[in-house]
Structure formats: structure tokens, C-alpha cells
């Protein structure tokens, strides 16, 4: 009855309206809290997405930098390849029309007039060890008689040079082929060279053409004594072995001529101590150990080295270029060259542990 009275009726209606509004306010507050939470979630998700975007941008930047680096490397390799293409073209030209053959033939003809049969002995070495493995022994400070004993035990063909005989009192090992082209060394050590026996000895033809002396037990090969750039490689040494700046490269050249396909270097440290003399020139520092023996340089040979190598840094640079050029030619001929030297500074050829190299050679023999 009271609700039907006008003022009270209006009051009841207002009261119900207030309750409805309060309920709506509470509902809106709940919805607002829900929206705030959802908004926070969206903000967090957005922040995570932004972080992912930043990370992706960083990755893309790294990929772009990597692609640029690879492009630069590819360009360098293309430049190297193009340069070697020119070298190869020059090689083909000189092989057909160059003067190497003429100079070599003149040298061999003169040697033949003094030592009949020398040309045949040199020709008999060609491809005499086709597809085989060999070691080329350097005379660096890392060389040890123990390593040479290992080669002897495993009957591995070896090349050596110059004063390797100074290690003979420490080992029964002997090289199969010994060679020299350093005319200063040959002139000052000819009697020592003549006393060597039991293996093939190879001397450059200038030993005879310049009338330094004659070792009748040696085989003489043509030697193109000039610093040609780029250093030159005649796989057929009847066309001449080039200067190269180091006897090690000449030994590799001879090994390729004899047919060896797997060549391992040992004791090739490629270290070259130098100092400034009183004139300010860079010369060999013979007081520092540069070979396996402290007796390697006798006084006469040392004096000639001081006299003839007036710029040791330039000589070292030429040697480094020679090794790189030689590797390219060996790769082209599918001849594999590895460096098993303990330490040293020669990094042109891939490194290999000596024991692993011996095992590899023996496994190759077993599969033949």
C-alpha cells in the first residue's frame, strides 16, 4: 500500500534505480579491471614483440654483414683466380715459345760434352715413382734425428739438400735423393759434396758451366738462375728448374718430375733471422740458430752469404711468394703437399702431424 502512495512510490523507484546504477558501476569496474589487465598483457606482448623485432633486426644486420664479408672474400678469390689465369696463360705461352727450353738445352749440351750420359740419367728419373709418397727434408732447427729414424724404419723415400750430412752421426737414415743449387755453397763445400755417397746426388748445371768443379757421381739438372716474377714452375725439369729462392721448392719440383703425388715437408721451418749491419742493410743473422746444426755455416760460406744477399727481407718475401705460387701449380697438377714440420713459420701448405702422415702413407701402401 505504501508503494502506491505517490511520494513513497517515487522514492522506491529512485532507490531501485540507485541499486541498478550501483550494480552497473560494479560491473563496469570489473570490466574496467579486466580491460586494464588485458591492456597490460597486450603491452607486455607488444614489448616482447618489439624485443623480438630488435633481435630480428640484429640478426638481419649480422646476416647482411656476413653476406658483405662473403662477397668481399669472393671478390678476392675471383681476383686471385683471374691473376692465376693470366699466369697459366703465360705458362702456356712460355712452355711453347719461351726461352727456358733453349737455355736448358744449352746447359745440358755443355754438361753432356763433359759428362756423357748425364742427360739419360736425368731422363731416367722422370715418372720413376709415379703416384708414390715422399718426404722432403729441410735443414731447419726443428729437424731431429729421431724423426729421420722414423722415416728409415718405415722405408719412406726422402729428399734432402746441402749440409744434411751434418746429422749423419746421429742417425742411420740417409736421403734417397740429395740436391743443391746454391753456387756459393757448392764452391765452398765441393770436397764435402764429393765425399757424400750411397744415394742420388743432383747438382745444378752451373756447377760445370761456370767451372766450379765436377762431381762425376752427381746428376746435373738445368737451372734457370733468375728471380722471375711470378716464380716459375716447369713440371718437366728438362725445361729448367727455376730459382724459387729456396732449395725446398726445387726439391718439390724434382719430386713432381719423378712422379710423386703426395709430398710431405719436414724440418722446413722457413725462419730467416736477420739484423742490420753497419751500413743499415738487412742481412742474415748467422749468430742465431737457423738450422739443426750450429756448424751449418762455415766461415767461407757465411762470408759469401753476407756478400751476395744484400736485402734479406726482400729475399724472404720472394721465398714466401714462391711457396704460394708452388702450391698453386701443385694443386693444378693434383699433387698434394703437406707440412709435418714441428713448429716453424711456413703456413702455405696444410699442416699434418708426422705420426698421422706416416700412418696415411702406410695405409695408402696397403691399399695398392
What number of other Cβ atoms are within 10 A of residue 54's Cβ? 10
What number of other Cβ atoms are within 10 A of residue 210's Cβ? 13
> What is the reported pLDDT for 317?
81
> What is the reported pLDDT for 65?
83
Contact 137, 157 (CB under 8 A): no
CATH number at 99-367: 3.90.1480
User: Tens of pLDDT along 221-253?
Assistant: 999 987 666 667 899 999 999 988 899 999 999
pLDDT tier at 359, thresholds 50, 70, 90:
very high
The pLDDT of residue 93 is above 70: no
> What is the reported pLDDT for 203?
97
**How far apart (Å, rounded) are the C-alpha atoms in residues 242 and 236?**
11
Nearest to 234 by CA among 248, 220, 252: 252
Top-confidence range, 84-88, 182-186, 299-303: 182-186
The backbone region for 127, taken as left when phi is positive above 0, alpha when psi lies in -120 to 50, beta otherwise, is: left
What residues pair up with 200 in beta bridges, in sequence order?
177
Omega cis (within 30) before 230 = yes
Angle at 139 between CA 184 and CA 324, to 5 degrees: 90
**How far apart (Å, rounded) are the C-alpha atoms in residues 359 and 49?**
57
Mean of the pLDDT values across residues 69-80?
Answer: 81
pLDDT tier at 100, thresholds 50, 70, 90:
confident
What number of other Cβ atoms are within 10 A of residue 176's Cβ? 16
Top-confidence range, 67-71, 292-296, 334-338: 334-338
Average pLDDT, the chain: 84
Beta strand spans in the chain (E): 133-137, 158-161, 177-180, 200-204, 218-221, 223-224, 241-242, 262-266, 274-276, 282-284, 336-339
User: Tens of pLDDT along 173-182?
Assistant: 999 999 999 9
**How far apart (Å, rounded) are the C-alpha atoms in residues 256 and 293?**
29
User: Tens of pLDDT along 135-147?
Assistant: 999 999 999 999 9
Q: Which residues contact 294 (CB under 8 A, 6 or more apart)?
A: none
This model's pTM is above 0.85: no
**How far apart (Å, rounded) are the C-alpha atoms in residues 220 and 223?**
9
Q: Is the dihedral of CA 296, 352, 256, 329 positive or negative?
A: negative
User: Tens of pLDDT along 148-185?
Assistant: 999 999 999 999 999 999 999 999 999 999 999 999 89
Mean of the pLDDT values across residues 277-298?
Answer: 72
The pLDDT of residue 216 is above 90: yes
Mean of the pLDDT values across residues 306-314?
Answer: 61
Q: Where are the alpha helices (DSSP H) in 98-115?
A: 100-114
User: Tens of pLDDT along 48-69?
Assistant: 777 777 777 888 788 778 888 8
Burial of residue 30 (number of CB atoms within 10 Å: 0-12, 13-18, 19+): exposed
Contact 149, 173 (CB under 8 A): yes
**How far apart (Å, rounded) are the C-alpha atoms in residues 107 and 224?**
10
> What is the reported pLDDT for 311?
63
| Percent of the chain clearing pLDDT 70 (strictly above) | 80
Amino acid at each position: 500500500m505504501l508503494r502506491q502512495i505517490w511520494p513513497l512510490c517515487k522514492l522506491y523507484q529512485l532507490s531501485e534505480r540507485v541499486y541498478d546504477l550501483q550494480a552497473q558501476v560494479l560491473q563496469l569496474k570489473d570490466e574496467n579491471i579486466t580491460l586494464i589487465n588485458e591492456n597490460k598483457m597486450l603491452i607486455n606482448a607488444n614489448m616482447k614483440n618489439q624485443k623480438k623485432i630488435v633481435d630480428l633486426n640484429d640478426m638481419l644486420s649480422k646476416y647482411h654483414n656476413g653476406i658483405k664479408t662473403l662477397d668481399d672474400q669472393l671478390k678476392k678469390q675471383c681476383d686471385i683466380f683471374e691473376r692465376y689465369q693470366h699466369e697459366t696463360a703465360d705458362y702456356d705461352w712460355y712452355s711453347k715459345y719461351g726461352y727456358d727450353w733453349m737455355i736448358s738445352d744449352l746447359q745440358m749440351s755443355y754438361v753432356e760434352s763433359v759428362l756423357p750420359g748425364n742427360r739419360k740419367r736425368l731422363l731416367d728419373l722422370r715418372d720413376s715413382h709415379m703416384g708414390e709418397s715422399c718426404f722432403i727434408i729441410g735443414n731447419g732447427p726443428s729437424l731431429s734425428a729421431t724423426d729421420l729414424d722414423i722415416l728409415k724404419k718405415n722405408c719412406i723415400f726422402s729428399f734432402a739438400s746441402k749440409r744434411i750430412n751434418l746429422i749423419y752421426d746421429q742417425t742411420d737414415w740417409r736421403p734417397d735423393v740429395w740436391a743443391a743449387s746454391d753456387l756459393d755453397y757448392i764452391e765452398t763445400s765441393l770436397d764435402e759434396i764429393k765425399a757424400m755417397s750411397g744415394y742420388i746426388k743432383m747438382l745444378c748445371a752451373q756447377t760445370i758451366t761456370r767451372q766450379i768443379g765436377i762431381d762425376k757421381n752427381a746428376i746435373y739438372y738445368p737451372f734457370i738462375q733468375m728471380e722471375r716474377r711470378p716464380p716459375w714452375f716447369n713440371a718437366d725439369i728438362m725445361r729448367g728448374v727455376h730459382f724459387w729462392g729456396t732449395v725446398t721448392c726445387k726439391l718439390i719440383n724434382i719430386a713432381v718430375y719423378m712422379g710423386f703425388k703426395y709430398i710431405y715437408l719436414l724440418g722446413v721451418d722457413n725462419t730467416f733471422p736477420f739484423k742490420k749491419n753497419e751500413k743499415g742493410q738487412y742481412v742474415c743473422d748467422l749468430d742465431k740458430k737457423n738450422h739443426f746444426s750450429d756448424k751449418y755455416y762455415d766461415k767461407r760460406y757465411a762470408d759469401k752469404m753476407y756478400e751476395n744477399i744484400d736485402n734479406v727481407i726482400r729475399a724472404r718475401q720472394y721465398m714466401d711468394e714462391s711457396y704460394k705460387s708452388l702450391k698453386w701449380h701443385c694443386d693444378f697438377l693434383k699433387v698434394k703437399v703437406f707440412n709435418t714440420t714441428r713448429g716453424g713459420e711456413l703456413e702455405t701448405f696444410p699442416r699434418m702431424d708426422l705420426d698421422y702422415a706416416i700412418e696415411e702413407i702406410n695405409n695408402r701402401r696397403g691399399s695398392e
